[in-house]
Amino acid sequence: MKERLQKLISGAGIASRRAAEELIAAGRVTVNGERARLGMSADPELDRVEVDGEALRLPQSRRCIMLNKPRGYVTTLSDERGRRTVAELVAGAGRRLYPVGRLDLNSEGLLIMTDDGEAANALMHPAHEVEKTYVVTVRGAVTARQCAAMEALRAVDGRPIRPPRLRVLGSDGEKTRLRFVIHEGRNREVRRICASVGLEVLRLVRTAEGELRLGSLPPGAWRELTPEEIEYIRRLKEEIR
């Protein structure tokens, strides 16, 4: 059965649909030896689709796991600076898995890794506004005025954002724990929000992404998604088809 090329490429775990369109536009995709064009379709059982000269191979089954990323690991499959990567932590999964979104070097917590491009696209698609929850420890006490200022934010460093929801979880005067709920999760967004009111982040842990919960998964460990979590992702995928 014929399908759009970007869907086939995404389904093979090579790139998201949007990134697949960029590959096609850049002339890096061919169908039966001919340069592909945006809007083209192909039948993976009858046509030979290649990306950068490599034949597209659709895996028989997709893999989607949850990793509790520790501090000190970069969210990439390789690093030119020789830093530790999340790929090292999931080597036992038996196949090449790609991170969905990012957590910076010093951030921790829930990270979905998969070879299912459609699942990755569904979790990151702006139409879904999948909520991301973080538990953040900051230095010192946090005032009610600082909390109100963060919840009223409409932009950070000149870029518009959806205002976060937050709750103070506890404080001993030297440190305060906050729970943040945001929608986009742009690069260092929570850290920038805290910095905007003079707060220094000591620790940042992502604990949930939509209906996916980190729970008691130990740092550095990974697990298969539950049937309920897989069904949640399936629903997200269906909504954007």
Catalytic residues: 104
Cβ atoms of 171 and 137 closer than 8 Å: no
Cβ atoms of 112 and 97 closer than 8 Å: no
Phi, psi of 120 (to 5 degrees): -60, -45
Q: And the tokens for 211?
A: 């209906």
Tell which phi-psi region holds residue 82, choosing left (phi > 0), alpha (psi between -120 and 50) or beta. Answer: left
Q: And the tokens for 228?
A: 């309920």
The position carrying tokens 């937050």 is 166
Q: And the tokens for 122?
A: 């569904």
Classify strands 108-114 and 201-209 as parallel, antiparallel or unpaired: parallel
Positive/negative CA dihedral, 196, 199, 205, 207:
negative
The residues pairing with 66 across neighbouring beta strands, listed in sequence order, are: 112, 223
Residue 70 CA, distance from chain mean position: 15
Q: How far apart are the first and last CA of the chain?
A: 16
Classify strands 3-4 and 41-42 as parallel, antiparallel or unpaired: antiparallel
Classify strands 159-160 and 132-139 as parallel, antiparallel or unpaired: unpaired
